[in-house]
Amino acid sequence: MVDVYLNERFIGSIDNPDEFIKNVKDRRRSSKIPFNIGIYYNKEFNEIYLDSTRGRAMRLMGRVENGKNLMTKEYVDKLVNNEITWDSLIKEGVLEYIDAAEEENAFVALSEEELTNDHTHIEISPIAILGLLSSMIPYSNFGSSSRLIRGNKIQKQSLGLYASNFHVRMDTDVSVLHYPQRPLVKSFMHDVLNYDKHPCGQNVVIAVMSYKGYNMEDSIVVNKGSIQRGFARSTFYRPYVTEEMRYSGGLVDEIAIPDKDVKGYKSEKDYRLLEDDGIIYTGAKLSEEDVIVGKTSPPRFLGELEEFSVAASTRRETSTTIKNGEEGVVDTIVITENEDGNKMIQVKVRENRIAEIGDKFASRHGQKGVIGMIVPHEDMPFTASGITPDIIFSPHGIPSRMTISHLLEILAGKVGALKGMPVDSTTFDVYPEE
Active site residues: 218
Rounded distance between C-alpha atoms, residue 390 and residue 221, angstroms: 8
Compute the distance between CA of residue 430 and CA of residue 433 in angstroms, rounded to an integer. Answer: 9
Read out DSSP for 109-150?
Answer: ESSGGG--TT--EE-SSGGGGS-TTGGGSTTGGGS-HHHHHH
Percentages helix, strand, coil for the chain (3-state, rounded to 5) are 25, 30, 45
Per-residue three-class SS string for 275-343: CCCCEECCCCEECCCCEEECEEECCCCHHHCCCCCHHHHCCEECCEECCCCCCEEEEEEEEEECCCCCE
Amino acid at 369: G
List CB contacts of 315: < 8 A, sequence separation 6 or more: 254, 296, 297, 298, 299
Distance separating alpha carbons of residues 37 and 48, to the nearest angstrom:
13
CA distances from 23 to 16, 33, 209 (A): 11, 11, 63
Residues 391 and 206 sit within 8 Å (Cβ to Cβ): yes
The set of residues, in sequence order, having a beta carbon less than 8 Å from that of 27 and lying 6+ positions away, is: 33
First to last CA, the chain: 61
**361 with 394: CB under 8 angstroms?**
no
Find the DSSP H helices in 11-114: 17-29, 73-80, 86-91
Nearest to 88 by CA among 33, 39, 29, 27: 29
SS3 for 12?
Answer: strand
Residues 243, 344: contact at Cβ < 8 Å?
yes
